[in-house]
Structure 1
Amino acid sequence: MEEQAFRMKLKPGFADEYKRRHDEIWPELKKAISESGVYDYSIYLDEESLSLFAVQKVRDGGNPDAQKGMAIVRKWWDMMADIMDVNDDNSPVCVSLRPMFHMD
């Protein structure tokens, strides 16, 4: 198992909309994410900076980067592009976070 953490950025005024869209996440998107090996995925919002902090656990042999080629993931990115910072292909701008502490 590997744990990955990264930061994304929400545009001002869209916290409630971001939450609403994720509360209604498409079952086929959840399936695609699971098929890439991700089995636990959480996103937290720092309301002061509008930074989204994501943590995902990946099964051994999993490949979350495989999501980039999945049509359903690209459709989600297109839908989310109006409320977050995105790259030219509408993928969210993600900054990997370096682990600094973990307590078992």
Structure 2
Amino acid sequence: MARIGQIMYLHKDAYDEYQKRHSELWPEMKQALKEHGASNYSIFLNKDNGELFAYLEVPDVDKYNEIANTEICKKWWAYMEPLMDTNADNSPVATDLTEVFHLD
């Protein structure tokens, strides 16, 4: 199982709305995440600076990355775009983290 960690960047005035939208995650988006192997997925917010830390586990990183090509993911990104730093395709600006320690 691969462990993925990323930092994303939320606008400071969007904390409550970001949490609300995730608490109401669309069933189709949840299904797409599961179909692409995502499990144990959590997102944490640093309220001091708007950084989001995302952690998830996937059996196959390449299969998980295919989610970016789905219509539901593109729709979700467009829905979330006003709340966070995004790329031209509305995907979140994300910094991939390198795992340096894991306690098994």
TM > 0.5 fold call: yes
Structure that is richer in helix per residue: 2
User: What is the aligned partner in structure 1 of residue 34 from structure 2?
Assistant: 34
Instruction: Identify unmatched segments of 5+ residues in structure 1.
Output: none
Partner SS state of residue 14, structure 1: helix
Query: How many matched pairs?
Result: 104
C-alpha deviation, 1:100, in angstroms: 2.2
C-alpha deviation, 1:60, in angstroms: 4.4
1:58-95 residue CA offsets vs partner (Å, 9 max, x unmatched):
02476221111100010000000000000000000111
C-alpha deviation, 1:12, in angstroms: 1.6
Partner SS state of residue 89, structure 2: coil
**What does residue range 29-68 of structure 1 map to in structure 2 within 5 Å?**
29-60=29-60, 63-68=63-68
1:26-71 residue CA offsets vs partner (Å, 9 max, x unmatched):
0110000111111221000011111000001002476221111100
TM-score, with length taken from structure 1: 0.94
User: What is the aligned partner in structure 2 of residue 71 from structure 1?
Assistant: 71
**In structure 2, C-alpha distance between the alignment counterparts of 1:67 and 1:91, rounded to whole Å:** 11
**In structure 2, C-alpha distance between the alignment counterparts of 1:91 and 1:62, rounded to whole Å:** 17
Instruction: Identify unmatched segments of 5+ residues in structure 2.
Output: none
For the Cα contact (< 8 Å) 1:36–1:66, is it kept in 2? yes
